[in-house]
Structure 1
Amino acid sequence: MAGTVLVTGGAQGLGEALVRAFHAAGYRVAISDINLAGAAALADRLDPGGTTTFAVALDVTSPDSFVAARDAVVARWGSVEVLVNNAVITVVRPVLDITPDEFARVLEVNLHGTFFGCQVFGRYFKERGFGRIVNIASLAGQNGGTATGAHYAASKGGIITLTKVFARDLAPFGISVAAIAPGPLDLPSVRALVPADKLAATVETIPVRQLGDPAFIARTAVHLAGADAAFANGAVWDANGGLFMR
């Protein structure tokens, strides 16, 4: 057994791809989501007996919810070695039309949720002397976003900064923190949010002329979660088909 991972927002989309990749790599996977029924359904599809999957309710806007989810997984399996901060709200809105409430809500889930996860699990991993945190950022956090809202882009840029801060501060305790910054992915949520003509135009600007494969992003997360991945600490791994190179 490779260890235990908790994936936030694991019931669908990229979260489901992450869950599947870690499960295939031999991890016990805690599928955490505010949509507990969706998480439970995925857990049952992957492992009907519940030996290697576990659905747990998690509201990432609450530190107490992170603590409760962590404790539930530890009670079931004894420990957690990896956290993947993936839970996200994506809203496409012109910057002048974003309301204060909508801006706050997107940052509450995307940025605050990542901070709370890193903090709660950072303390736990510090006590154990080992841990891996993988944060899902975005190309939008690097270039300001071209097909997403400013609040989404701002939250993802903040995740990149948080990754560096936690990576620096937690490294002395055997903890590595890294991020992945995907470009546009081939997900139903992306196709639902972005008009077909705008999405097609975006694909034409990508040197490889295709949307990203969520399964590849998920396998990259598995790599960054490995026991031998300490030297990737603080890294932000770009996966955007050459759309943004630095």
Structure 2
Amino acid sequence: MARSALVTGGAQGLGAAIVRALHAQGFKVAIGDVDFEHASALADDLGASDGSTLPLRLDVREQGDFEAALAAMVARWGSAEVLVNNAVVTEAKPVLAIGPAEFDAVMRVNVGGVFIGSQVFGRAFKAAGYGRIVNIASLAGQNGGTATGAHYAASKGAIITLTKVFARDLAADGVTVNAIAPGPLDVPSVHRLVPKERLAALVESIPVRRLGDPAYVAELVCLLASERSAFTTGATWDVNGGLFMR
């Protein structure tokens, strides 16, 4: 039976890579994003005509949007089994320059979106006796790196903790909850945040001497979204080229 998955922030960048990988693995994929135009374009590119993709306008700050997304997936496919919490905002800024409103705005999307989405879908998964939640954290949430902003790093650390909380509470109900912590990837946001003159030094600092391919993360999402992850929960998986070893 083909499983169905929602990917938040799925219209572009890493989210789009995850959508493509899940779809290639036979998942039916709902593409949730505030950018409905790009979500629709991706759905069309993957073959929306066969009903295997579903673009959705989704603001992860809104519980109602998650509830509507779940209802739309059930209406289209009869069920929903996978949630990939990928939506994120990033604003590189020195810690002493971040105001309270900006800090709250980043946390509301990055952490609040994971919390709300995991609650809404977690309840449905618990009732069904099966589900997979995959959270996209970050190396910054593990080592306190602030190149992407202290509020971003704090939010990603919080996601790792939320992963453990939801995993513990849902483990007996057939639901696994795991996180992936990517290091620097070859995606537009990294090239936007890292000045060209610093990019070479960043690559040199990575033991494997290259930026990560988003496909590495996407392939791991596919594994954690599958039945094969039944005995793995509450874990944070490192995809960082050796920048952080433990």
Q: Under TM normalisation by the shorter chain, which class is it?
A: over 0.9
Partners of 2:195 and 2:183 lie apart in 1 by 17
Listed one character per residue, the Cα deviations across residues 112-151 of structure 1 (whole Å, up to 9, x for unaligned) are 0001111111001011000000000000000111421000
Listed one character per residue, the Cα deviations across residues 172-215 of structure 1 (whole Å, up to 9, x for unaligned) are 11000000000000001210121112222111111001001101
Does residue 161 of structure 1 match 2:130?
no
* Displacement of 1:48: 4.2
Give me the TM-score of the superposition, normalised by structure 1. Answer: 0.98
Residue 184 of structure 1 corresponds to which residue in structure 2?
184
One-letter amino acid of the structure 2 residue matched with residue 224 of structure 1? L
Q: Is the 8 A contact 2:146 2:153 kept in 1?
A: no
Q: Is the 8 A contact 1:92 1:194 kept in 2?
A: no
Q: Is the 8 A contact 2:29 2:52 kept in 1?
A: yes
Partners of 2:184 and 2:92 lie apart in 1 by 13
Partners of 1:8 and 1:123 lie apart in 2 by 18
| Pairing 1:26-175 to 2, within 5 Å after superposition | 26-175=26-175
Partner-residue secondary structure (3-state), 1:91: coil
Partner-residue secondary structure (3-state), 1:178: strand
Moved segments of 4+, more than 6 Å: none
Residue 22 of structure 1 corresponds to which residue in structure 2?
22
Q: Is the 8 A contact 2:59 2:65 kept in 1?
A: yes
Partners of 1:57 and 1:21 lie apart in 2 by 21
One-letter amino acid of the structure 2 residue matched with residue 89 of structure 1? V
Listed one character per residue, the Cα deviations across residues 83-132 of structure 1 (whole Å, up to 9, x for unaligned) are 00000001100111111111111101000000111111100101100000
Partners of 2:245 and 2:86 lie apart in 1 by 23
Q: CA RMSD in A?
A: 0.9
Partner-residue secondary structure (3-state), 1:49: helix
Give me the TM-score of the superposition, normalised by structure 2. Answer: 0.98
Partners of 1:38 and 1:115 lie apart in 2 by 25
Residue 9 of structure 1 corresponds to which residue in structure 2?
9
Structure 2 stretches lacking a partner, 5+ long? none
* Displacement of 1:231: 1.4
* Displacement of 1:32: 0.6
Structure 1 stretches lacking a partner, 5+ long? none
Percent of aligned positions that are identical: 65
